[in-house]
Amino acid sequence: MSAEAHPPATLEGWFALHQVVRLIPGTGAASRDVSRALSVGVAEIGDRAAAGWSAVAALTTAPGDFLLAHFRASFDELAAVRAELSEAEAFAGVEEVFSMVSVAEAGLYHITAELARAAAARGGTVGDAAYLAELESRREAERSSEHVQRRLFPQLPPDMPYVCFYPMSKRRDPGQNWYELTLDERSRLMRSHGETGRKYAGRIQQVITGGIGFSEWEWGVTLFAKDPLDFKKLVTDMRFDEVSAKYAEFGPFFVGKLYGLATA
């Protein structure tokens, strides 16, 4: 791994499971009954979580009828949630058409890039003892900040009932490969991304979950809004923001409205 292109340090929080399910055609399951059963079943599961929450949204377009999102403290708890739900009566009339496991993540681009520059300036290297000691203390400071806590342990915003979920990856084409950029360059691009996003403060809440190693997609993007039109506006602005314009690859979009929620 070259010193230039090393990954950013990350902090991780709750694990996430996103499930898109649809009514099984021909089973005669009335959508109203299934949605009631699903919200009750998911609420019960959410209520039993020691930490985290589960929520259900009614999706507005095919191929799914419902989006289920579960946040839990451990990978094992998510597996248990999925297993339990698949057996539950609430699931009798539905089948999963998409699912993704990921973990709430904060990428420390700025700090990692700064420490790499400091290591080079003192004639050291990324990953040497001085680098690791400084990284550890910076990570701890970040982890305890309220801002990062909100990213790692995201809460459902009570006044934002609309939800938009999509998986995405960063491009790895010859000559246009995110993973070959220097960390300084990725840090610069992510700063600009954050500035674009912050124009939507108070209107959109984003939850970024990392899927590398868990999923064919690298990130899950879960957006909550008061007004669904803000999804279109923000995602359009992001398309023109340099990092998305050059490096973003998108999966399917799932959009709808939350109607059942359970927090622990």
Placement of tokens 């699912």 in the chain: 99
Closer of 96 and 185 to ligand 76R (Cβ):
185
Q: Three-state DSSP class for 97?
A: strand
Give all strands (DSSP E) within 73-229, no chain letters.
94-108, 162-170, 172-173, 176-177, 204-210, 219-225
208 binds ligand 76R (CB under 6 A): yes
260 binds ligand 76R (CB under 6 A): no
How far is residue 120's CA from residue 57's CA, in Å, rounded to a whole number? 49
Placement of tokens 């109203």 in the chain: 32
Q: What region does 26 belong to: left with phi over 0, alpha with psi -120 to 50, or beta?
A: left
- Minimum distance, C-beta of residue 175 to ligand 76R, in the bound complex (Å): 19
219 binds ligand 76R (CB under 6 A): yes
In the region spanning residues 81 to 110, those forming contacts with ligand 76R, defined by CB under 6 A, are: 107
Tokens (6 digits) for 69: 């999102």
Instruction: Mark whether 166 is an active-site residue.
Output: yes
How far is residue 219's CA from residue 109's CA, in Å, rounded to a whole number? 16
193 binds ligand 76R (CB under 6 A): yes
Part in contact with ligand 76R (CB under 6 A); list of ranges 14-22, 92-100, 138-146, 198-206 = 198-206
Residues that bind ligand 76R (CB under 6 A): 107, 168, 190, 193-194, 197-198, 200, 204, 206, 208, 219, 221, 223, 234-235, 238-239, 244, 248
Residues classed as catalytic: 166
